[in-house]
Each structure stands twice: as C-alpha cells, then as structure tokens.
Chain A
Amino acid sequence: MGGQKKIFLIFGLIAVLGLIVLPFFLEGYWIRVITSIFMYAIITAALNIIAGFAGYAAFGNIVFFGIGAYTTAMLMLRVGLYWWVGAIVGGVLASLYAILLGIPILRLRGHYFAIATLGINRATEQIALDWGSFTGGGKGITLPLPQMEINTFYAMIYFIMFGLLAFTVLVNYGIARSRLGYALRAIRENEGAAEASGIFAPRCKIVAWAISAFITGITGGVFAYWFSFIEPATVFDIMIAVKAFVMMMLGGAGTVLGPVLGAFLIELISETVWGKFLTIHMLILGIIMVAIVILMPRGIMEFFRKKFSLAAIWNNIKNQAV
C-alpha cells in the first residue's frame, strides 16, 4: 500500500475513533450539530450514487427524505410501530417510488431529468400539504416524545446517524468496485457507448436510484424520530437538496469519500462561523457554489490526485470560457 494511502488510512481511523468517543465529552448542542452534519453527509453520499456515479443530477432527491419521514411518522402514530421499523418501511417505499418514477423519468436527458425531479419533489410536497386528512397538511405531524432521558436520546441518535453514515460510505465503496459501479460510470461518461458495450442502462440507473432513495428514505425516518415533528416545508425542503449538491461537488462527485468530506466542510463552516447570521450564511453558500463551479468543478478530491496550482486553475478557466 502506497505511503500516501497509509497516511490517509491512519488519519481516517483517528477521525472515526474520535467521532465515536466525542459524545462523552461534548454537551448537548454540539452533539446535535454533529448529528446534523452526519445527516447531511448521508444525504449527500446517497445522492452521490445517482448523481455522482451515474451522472444523473437528481436535484429533487430530497423527495425520498420526505417520503421516509412521513411514512415513519404515520406508521409510528397510527399503527404504533417502532421507529426503526417505520424507517425501514419508509426506505422501502421511497425506493419503490424511485423505481416507479425512474422507469419513465430516467430516460430523460440530463437537464430534463434534473427538472423533472424538482417537479416530483414539488408535486409530492404539495400533495403532502393538500391531503390534510391523510398527512396532516400544513400543520405537519407531531409525534409523542420518546420516553427516555433527553441527553441519552440525543446520544443515541448521534450513534444511529453515525452508523447510517458508515453504512452509506460502505455502500458507496462497494458500488464503486462492483460491476454496477463500472456500469454507472460508463453510463455517466458515454451512455451510448455504454449500451454498445452490453450495459443495460435503464436497469442500472433504476437500481442506482432505488438504492439512493432507500438510504435517503431511512434517513428521513430517523429524522422524524429525532425531531418528533415533521412538516412538508422541512422534509421536502429543496435547500437541503441544493446544499447536498454543493457538498457533493465540493468534495468530488463520483468519489467515495468526497461527498462526505464536502458535507463536513460546508456544514462545519456554516455552523461555527455563520450559524447565527442566517442571511449571510445563505449568501456565502451562494458564493461558494459559484466559486466551486468556476474554479474546481471536479471537487477537492481531484486535488489529492493531481497537482494543483493557481496557474492550472487559471488555465482551466481560460480553456473553458466562451
């Protein structure tokens, strides 16, 4: 194993161990902050499967989060199921949604697909809003608070999210090395040539989206349990989707660790520096998005592989400009 890889692995291990022991040293607020970072990382890593590997920009991927959240909440409230059963069912429903919609929608070209997913998210959000009798409408769904000491509860959620994140990273890793991974990358790079090579593109894309939806759905379920309250505006919030996209791009779309790194970077910066000033926070996020697109569209991971210098970036820009 190369020297650089070894260093990487050691740092990674330290980071993981650190994260595991953190809850015992931190107070409530920071535990919740880091849990939230984990959640963003999961959503971003799940998005990476369809948008990073396959190259299909599912801008509206957050819809699966909402479906998972609502399924879990309703099953907990109306049927009395355990939260984790609800979350798993939520994940399954979300992937069924992805499969059903994916059959027609994944045939669309790049930007049309992106817009269609936005439309799907919006339509689903509207249905959740308007079907008040079933979903509680704009008032959302309030769940009974969990019966345990509050700090223990938050620590538990911390570990659940951490576990989910680890799972998602493993899934990404597994896909990257598998046949599916090569198929998806081929599809992303040149779908026509991929099909000529014997890849059944529609099937592969749908599988990728279903996996992405499943993970995102479960995360929505955990979120519902965590906050004990969900409403359409929060769980179908397009801003989460956009942030996830930026995080994925910043870290490196299509890599295994990139999306997680990107999520950590952006959320940490957001929380520690601008948490108080919502307006500036959004403004800076916007500027970051613009900067990433222009300066390093392939993300940070690219810099670990190639040399980077300001001159190289400038050259790149000159070549790209109209």
Chain B
Amino acid sequence: MSLQILLNGIFLGAIYVNIAVGFSLAWGVMDVINVAHGTMIVVGAFVTFACFKAFGLDPFLSLPISMAVLFIIGYGSQKYLLNLVVKVGIFLSLILTFGLDLVIINTLLMIFTGDYRSLTPSYSGSSFQIGSLVIPYVRLAILVICILLTALLQLFLSKTRTGNAIRATSQNRQAAQIVGVDVAKVYSITLGISAALAGACGSLISTIQSFTPFEGGFFIMKAFIICVLGGLGNVWGAIFGGLLLGVVETTGASIFGTGFQEAISAIIMILVLIFLPKGIVGSKYK
C-alpha cells in the first residue's frame, strides 16, 4: 500500500472522525441516536454555501457561523423536543430524530431546491508536494481543523465545569441530578455541541464535494459504522474508528474500485456488531 493512499486515507479519516465524534457524543451521553446528524452536517454545508454566494465569505471563515447556527438548532431540538422523550427509551428518540431529519431535509429543499451545490474558492484544486506525495491544501487544512476541534472538545470535556457535568451525567444521570447538575440543560448543551461539530464538518465538506439536501443519509451511515467500530461515547474510539474506516476505504477503492465499497462498509459494521458488540476499542465509559 503506497504512502499516498495511506495519506489519502488519513485525510478522509479526519473527516470521518469529525462526523463520528459529534454523533457519538449525543449517543454516549444521552443514549440519543441522532439520525438527523447527517442532515445537520448538510445544513452546515448549506450555511457555508449561502455565506459564500451572498457575501463571498471564505468557507473556512464561515465555520464559526455554521457552528453557531447548528448549536442553536441542536440546543433547541433537545430542549423542546428530545428532552420530552429521552427517558422513555432510546427507540422513541430515534424515531423522533428521524422525524426531525425529515423536517430539516424538507426545509432545506424548500430554501435551496434539490440541485447539487458546490463551492469553488480560488485555492480549490491546488496542492504542494513533499517528495512524491501530493498534499492538497484544502485537505491539509481540513485535517488540521479536525484535529483542533477534536482536541478542543476533549479539553472542554475534561477541564471545564460544563464538560465535567456532561461526563458525570453520561455515567449516571440520577447521581448527577442528586449532586445538583441540571440534567435537562446538560443534555441541551450536549446536543448543541454535537450539532455544532456537525456544522463544522459540513462547512469543511462543502469544500471538497458537491451536495444536496439528501446527502445526510450517506454521512449518517458512516457515523454508525465508525461508532460501532470504535465503541460509543468515546472520543478515542471515534478517532480510531474514523481513521481506520478512512484508510480501509481508500485502500479498498484502490484495489476493488469504488463499486462494492459501501456494501463492504455495511457488512464490516454488521460483522463487528455480531462479534464485538462493544466495538474494537472498548465499551462506552458508561
């Protein structure tokens, strides 16, 4: 396997890590499988698109905007909708987020129509070389930002008060409540952060591929697979799973062609679910 392919795998993996970290946060902390996560990523992409088209704002600079917009969407959804059913069961939350997904997709459809959209900032295709390795600028920037976001999240969770509250609640909701944690608020913030990460991801992805409001399904499938591979609620698991999937996919594509790629990923996920129900890395820290 050539170094270039490995590198491409890492570039792809970085995005996957980003997708998974946000998704896994909601799942790990609140047992909420946010099926709308994929579409939230798409929302981020559209926010960036809108900023680019309307104000000529560079996609990387629109990151804070898309993150803010998505944070509000996530926070609001949790506070007014999900918090009402979280206790009843993981399944009802799942259906609710499915419904949410439909609503968001269709709102996007109404605003932007179903046409494929893409962004082409001036530096789009350029790259530099180290030896025989080709390194596109955009991909490198994405890698760096993904690392930064993941590191910031990890710091936030371990060093700040809110972060600690989130971790406590994820381990034991009732115990956290007894100690005075406002669980409803913690949940809302968690989904807000999860959505914000999705927004960032979307902004980044908008620079490398075209998209429609329906793109979410593709991302959510990746998120599932990575969480299954890497275990839940576990930032390191998401990193491991994301990078692994990225490398496996690029390697597979170079050998088999892009054809059976998706089927293979899905089958890998099912096999892992069957044989290693706790993921390759280990269980949730619950």
A and B touch in the complex (CB under 8 A): yes
CB pair B95–A105 under 8 Å, yes or no, is no
Convert B101-127 into 0s and 1s, putting 1 for each residue whose CB lies closer than 8 angstroms to a CB of A.
Answer: 111011101100000000000000000
Partner of B99, one of A116, A123, A126, A286: A286
Label chain A's interface by main secondary structure.
Answer: helix
Q: Which residues from B are CB-within-8-Å of A118?
A: 221, 224
B282 beta carbon closer than 8 Å to chain A: no
A249 interface hit (Cβ, 8 Å):
yes
Q: Is A150 interfacial (CB 8 A cutoff)?
A: no
A16 interface residue (CB < 8 Å to B):
no
Binds A, one of B46-54, B140-148, B155-163, B261-269: B261-269
Return the chain B residue nearest A108 by Cβ: B273
**Smallest CB separation, A307 vs chain B (Å):** 21
Determine if A122 and B99 form an interchain contact, defined as CB atoms under 8 angstroms apart.
no
Nearest-CB distance from B124 to chain A (Å)? 29
B228 → chain A closest CB, angstroms: 7
User: Interface code A117-134, partner B: CB below 8 Å = 1, 0 otherwise?
Assistant: 011101100110010000
Q: What residues on A are CB-neighbors of B189 within 8 Å?
A: none
CB of A111 within 8 A of CB of B94, answer yes
For residue A127, which residues in chain B have a CB less than 8 angstroms away from its CB?
260, 263
Are A322 and B262 in contact, CB atoms less than 8 angstroms apart? no
A290 sits at the interface (CB 8 A): yes
Check B95–A246 contact: CB distance below 8 A. yes
Q: CB distance B94 to A283 under 8 Å? A: no
Give chain A residues whose Cβ lies under 8 Å from the Cβ of B109.
279
Q: A279-B109, A282-B105, A289-B102 are in contact. Are A114 and B273 (CB under 8 A)?
A: no
Residues in A neighbouring B173, C-beta threshold 8 A: 322
Give the residue of A112, A283, A286 whose beta carbon is less than 8 angstroms from that of B277.
Answer: A112
**Is B101 a contact of A286 with CB atoms below 8 Å?**
yes
Chain A, Cβ-Cβ closest to B256: A130
Q: Which residues of A contact B88 (CB under 8 A)?
A: 297, 320
Decide if B270 touches A322 in the complex (CB within 8 Å). no
In the complex, chain A residues whose CB is within 8 Å of the CB of B86: 322
User: Chain A residues near B92 (CB, 8 Å)?
Assistant: 293, 297
Q: Is the CB of B273 within 8 A of A116?
A: yes
Please measure, in the bound complex, the distance between the C-alpha atom of A112 and the C-alpha atom of B91, giving whole angstroms: 10
Q: What residues make up the interface of A, taking CB atoms closer than 8 Å to B?
A: 57, 104-105, 107-108, 110-112, 114-116, 118-120, 122-123, 126-127, 130, 238, 242, 245-246, 249, 279-280, 282-283, 285-290, 292-294, 297, 317, 320-322
